[in-house]
Structures are given as structure tokens and as C-alpha cells.
Amino acid sequence: MPTARAYAGAAVLGGTLYVIGGGGTTGPRSLTETYDITHKSWGLGPALPTGLQQFGIAVLNGKIYVAGGYKAADAMAGTQEGETAELWVFDPTVGIWVSKAAMPSARSSFGLLAAGAKLYAVGGDSGQVFIFDPSADAWSVAKSSLPAPRKGAAYAAIGDSLYVVGGVQGSAATARVDVYDTAGDSWKSGAALPGPRQGLAAAVIGGEIHVAGGQIVEPPKTYADHFVLNSKTGAWSKAASMPTARHAAVAAAVNNSFYVIGGSPGAGVYTVFTQTDVMEVWSK
């Protein structure tokens, strides 16, 4: 990747992989870089209207949605860096980012997942599940809340099921997995990760959730582990590890391949000083 970043977002539209926003030594960034999967080349995409990191990102109906996160300070507007509830959508046929209805409240380090015709915001400091209906440009709040609210988890959607994997509870990483049934508005426990992690990257390939990397903060350590959850059996298995241990990377699934991009090899306070531009790909 041309620019080293952590806490960015990744999305795939057609044959293009978008890496959006993320953190740097100067704070949240608005940068968008695009990877042409066929020609294996990088280019520039439309920048976000504001710098963002640790936001939710999802693709629905051929559009990229970006919600919440930490927003960059704007000296001209007199605003400071902090959490936001804003929602932005990018339609490649239009080529620009457009503002949509903001979430009911600001949040960061959460997942934005598509299921059916709606988007679901899960995780972060709040246990509430926010539901966005693009046809109405409106949010609602689910009756059922995440049993263990936490930041820094990995998030994945398979059919009507939304997975919250790992994360940090209090000051410690957890191996906990929670699964939300969007049709029934209910939660259940899933099989725990083989080890506690926060800051994992995740993507879905053929009904299996691939998660890689992550960190623990005490003592500071990053991981190269690559685990796979079979959604039918509910069991975890271990796949080939990444060459580079890191956390706060982004991930995407393309043609049965698992792309893991950016992040930081350094854990905890070393995150901001060790951001990487590396992209590594695992294939079946």
C-alpha cells in the first residue's frame, strides 16, 4: 500500500479494493487508496470529507457506507478530534461522498455490517444495536443489546447472523464471541477464539470467518495468528499465519483470497509509531 496506516477501513466494489481513512502520527486521515485486483496496482480514490479512524464500514447495494469513528480536528471550524455519529456513503456511479442521517449517538471501534437490506452498527462502548434503513435514510435501535459491549473486536456477517469476535473488555483482551440473529433480534454465545485478542482483522470466505493478527496490551504483544471459524460447525481451526504480526489492520475477501492490509506491528503505545504499508494475501 502506498501509505502506511492503522485503524483504516476496507471495502471491495467490483474489481477494486478500497482502503479508506485510518490513523497516522498526525491523527485521523481522509485518504482513500484503491487497489486494482486484476492489474495489481494502487491508485488514489475519493478522499473522505473528513479524517476518520476506527469507524464502521460496509458495502450494501453497490455502495460503501462509513459511519462513526474518531473524527479529525478542524482548526478552521474550531472542532477538536473526537467521536462522531456521522454517516457517509460513496456511490461509484456518482464518484463522491454524500452525507446521510447520523447514528443515534457517536461511537468508535465498532462494526458496521450489512444483512438483508439494512446496516447494523454493533460493538464499541455501547451495547445498543443501531439499524439503518437506506430506503428511508433513518436509524432505529434494536430491542436486544450486545451482552458484553466492547471495542476492538472483529466483525463479520453471514446471512442473518452477525459475529462479534474478541475485543477488549475493561483493559484486557477477550476471546469471547457473540452472535446476533438479525431476524430474531436475539444474541447467543459462539465458540471462543483460541486465544484472547483485540484489534483483529476479519473477512468471510465461503461461509467461514477468517480472523488474523490482533494484540494484547499487558504485556504488549502483537500476533500473526490466522484462525478460521466454520459457521456451520461452530468450530475454530488454525490456518497459515501471516508473515507479519500486527494489529489494527484491515481485511477483505476477494475470489477466495484473504487480504490483510496495513496495521501496526507494535502493540499498545507503540501502535502510532509502527504503522505498516504491508499487504499480505492468503489463498485457498
Full DSSP string of 155-209: EEEETTEEEEE--EETTEEB--EEEEETTTTEEEE-PPPSS-BBS-EEEEETTEE
Alpha carbon distance 246, 262 (integer Å)? 8
Predicted confidence band of residue 80 (pLDDT cuts 50, 70, 90): low
Least trusted range by pLDDT, from 17-26, 128-137, 159-168, 207-216: 17-26
Confidence of residue 234 (pLDDT cuts 50, 70, 90): very high
Query: Is the pLDDT reported for residue 205 higher than 80?
Result: yes
Task: Examine the pLDDT at 46 and tell me if it is beyond 80.
Answer: yes
- Res. 282 pLDDT band, cuts 50 70 90: very high
pTM of the model: 0.96
Q: What is the DSSP string of 215-230?
A: EETTTTEE---EEEEE
| Predicted confidence band of residue 78 (pLDDT cuts 50, 70, 90) | low
Residues 6+ apart with CB under 8 A from 68: 55, 56, 83, 84, 85, 86, 87, 103, 106, 107, 108, 110, 112, 121, 124
For the segment 141-195, what is each residue's pLDDT rounded down to a tens digit?
A: 999 999 999 999 999 999 999 999 999 998 899 999 999 999 999 999 999 999 9
Q: How far apart are CA 94 and CA 84, in angstroms?
A: 25
Residue positions counted in the chain:
284
- Going from the C-alpha of 171 to that of each of 7, 17, 23, 197, 218, the distances in angstroms are 19, 33, 21, 12, 9
pLDDT of residue 159: 96
Tell me what pLDDT residue 166 has. 98
Query: If you average pLDDT over residues 35-52, what whole number do you get?
Result: 96
90-96 contact pairs (CB < 8 A, 24+): 90/46, 90/63, 90/64, 90/66, 91/62, 91/63, 92/13, 92/14, 92/62, 92/63, 95/46, 96/46
pLDDT the model gives residue 77: 60
Residue 232 CB-half CA count within 13 A: 4
CB distance 197 to 217 below 8 Å: no
> What is the predicted pLDDT for the residue at 73?
77
Instruction: Average the pLDDT over 93-105 and give the result.
Output: 96
Map out the domains of the chain with their CATH numbers.
9-283 (2.120.10.80)
- The pLDDT > 70 percentage for the chain reads 98
